[in-house]
Structure 1
Amino acid sequence: MPEKSLCKGCSQTVHVAKKEIAALLEMQTKSFSDLVTDAIYQERLEKCNHCPNLLYGTTCQYCGCLVQYKAKFPDKHCASPDNPQW
C-alpha cells in the first residue's frame, strides 16, 4: 500500500475528502451568522480552484487552510503574498 502524504504540522493525511469538508462547514458555520453570500463564496472558490498554489484541491499553500472553509467568512482573504485574489 502506498504511503499517505502527511501534513508536516500534524500526523493527519493532507488529503481531505469533500464529505469531511462539508461536515466541518455545517458544524462550524451554524454558530456564525455573518457569512458571505453564496455568490461571493462560489466566486472565491472559483479563484482558488484556478490558483496554482492550491494543493490537493483543498489546501492553500500559503496559509495551510482549507479554502472551502476560509472562503465562507467575510473577514478572511486570499493569503497569496504577491497577488491576493479575493
Structure 2
Amino acid sequence: MHRAVSHQSIQGRADHFSAAGSDWQAMTCRTCPQRRMYGADEATALVASQLALEPDLAEEATISARLAICSACPSLTADHTCLHCGCFVQFRASLPDKFCPHPAGDRWQRV
C-alpha cells in the first residue's frame, strides 16, 4: 500500500537539499525547452502540484532512502536535478515505478 506524501513533507526534503538555507537554487530541467532556472520554493511547488496528479506514490521510507542516495551522488546538480534524466529528484524518487537512471546502473536497487 502506498500513501500520499504531504506538501509539508516535500518542503522538508526541499529544505534538506537547499544549500546553506539559500532560498534560491539554480534549477534547469534539461528536457524543458524553456531552460528556466527555478528557485527552491518554486521547484517544491512544481513537484507538489505534479505529485498531486499521481494516483500512486512510493512509501515515505522509500522516498527518503532514494533521496539520501541522490544527495550523495555526484550526478546531482543544483541540489535538486539529476544530470542523467533532467528530473527533479524529489519527483522521480516519489514515484514507485521509477528507477535511478545512472548509466552505471540503478543505484536505488537496494531500496
Same-fold call, TM cutoff 0.5 = yes
**Which deviates the most, 27-36 or 16-25?**
16-25
1:45 and 2:67 correspond: yes
Residue in 2 aligned with 1:66? 88
Secondary structure of 2:64's counterpart equals helix
Two-structure CA RMSD over aligned residues (Å): 2.3
The answer for unaligned runs of 5 or more in structure 1 is: none
Residue in 1 aligned with 2:102? 80
Higher relative contact order (CA closer than 8 Å, sequence separation 6+): 2
Give distance in 2, aligned partners of 1:6 and 1:82: 23
Residue in 1 aligned with 2:57? 35
| Pick aligned residue for 1:21 from 30, 33, 43 | 43
Total equivalences in the alignment: 81
1:6–1:74 distance in 2 versus 1, CA, 3 Å: closer
TM-score between the two structures when normalised by the length of structure 2: 0.63
1:18–1:83 distance in 2 versus 1, CA, 3 Å: same
Look up the equivalent residue of 1:64 and give its one-letter code.
G
What CA deviation, in whole Å up to 9, does each residue of 1:23-77 have, x standing for no partner?
Answer: 1222122222310011100100000000011111111111111111111101111
The answer for unaligned runs of 5 or more in structure 2 is: 1-25
Residue in 2 aligned with 1:57? 79
Secondary structure of 1:45's counterpart equals helix
Does the CA-based 8 Å contact 1:35-1:74 persist in structure 2?
Answer: yes
Look up the equivalent residue of 1:42 and give its one-letter code.
S
TM-score between the two structures when normalised by the length of structure 1: 0.78
